[in-house]
Amino acid sequence: MTTSPVPPPDGRTRYANGGRRRAEIVEAASAVFAEQGFQNLSMRQIADAIGVSHTLLRHHFGRKEAILEAVLTRREEIDQQWRTSLLQEHSALDAISLTMARNATTPGLIQLDALMHAEAVNPEHPAHDYVVGLAQRFRAQLIADLRAEQEAGRVRADVDVEAAALCLACLIEGVQLEWLLDRSVDMAAVVGFFVDHLRA
């Protein structure tokens, strides 16, 4: 009995496998950055921490800044996917507190956010521009959400949506830091308290 040789994987298979491996590295790197930060880690230390060879890490990313960019981009994608799903069933106003409740189930991501924001305050940090842009996009989204809710009659007409959005962004950032220090803090309740004062 003879068997046909198994054909080598075509380009699409190799690309899919490479994409999966890259995604696994990004996920593992997210956990490492959440625990150790980014600035003081070398490529070799990152490779050791996530359990891959230095050569493989360089093959997929080239430099450590590219790993950070991939981690932050993936983080933003996850948030956007969650938001899109949430808004199919809830108003934007209700979604804010629900998002905070969900964030309490992802401590690694919250810690990653906190460390990256702290490190990226330095204009020389490779993620500085990205983190600044992320904060600007977040505030712009909050302004758009609050304005839409105001037009729908769910936010009081006398609310200055731009000021409220800035206050809300600062509150979210601050309560997440407080929660990292004290897990008894109910982030959803704290943010919900503020949101309730905006309701019509």
In whole angstroms, give the CA distance from residue 23 to residue 16.
Answer: 10
**Domain range enclosing 137:** 87-200
Cβ contact 17:56 at 8 Å? no
Q: Which of 95-99, 104-108, 128-132, 166-170 has the lowest mean pLDDT?
A: 104-108
Q: Tell me, what's the pLDDT at 173? A: 94
* Residue 131 and residue 49 in one domain: no
How big is the chain by its Cα radius of gyration, in Å? 21
Tokens of 75: 């983080």
150 is a domain residue? yes
Q: Give the containing element (helix H, strand E) for 36.
A: helix 11-36
**HSE (side-chain half, CA atoms, 13 Å) at 18:** 12
Cβ contact 146:159 at 8 Å? yes
What are the pLDDT digits (tens) for 113-167?
888 888 889 999 888 998 899 999 999 999 999 999 999 999 999 999 999 999 9
Residue 88 gets which letter from DSSP? Answer: T
What are the pLDDT digits (tens) for 64-87?
888 888 988 888 888 888 888 888
Provide the CATH number for the domain around residue 93.
1.10.357.10
**More confident position, 169 or 33:** 169
* Residue 102 and residue 140 in one domain: yes
What are the pLDDT digits (tens) for 1-14?
444 454 544 555 55
Please determine, for residue 194, whether its predicted confidence score (pLDDT) is greater than 60: yes
113 is a domain residue? yes
78 is a domain residue? no
Indicate the residue type of 117: H
Cβ contact 54:47 at 8 Å? yes
151 is a domain residue? yes
> pTM (2 decimals)?
0.79
Q: Tell me, what's the pLDDT at 83? A: 86
Q: Tell me, what's the pLDDT at 65? A: 84
Average pLDDT for 52-58: 91
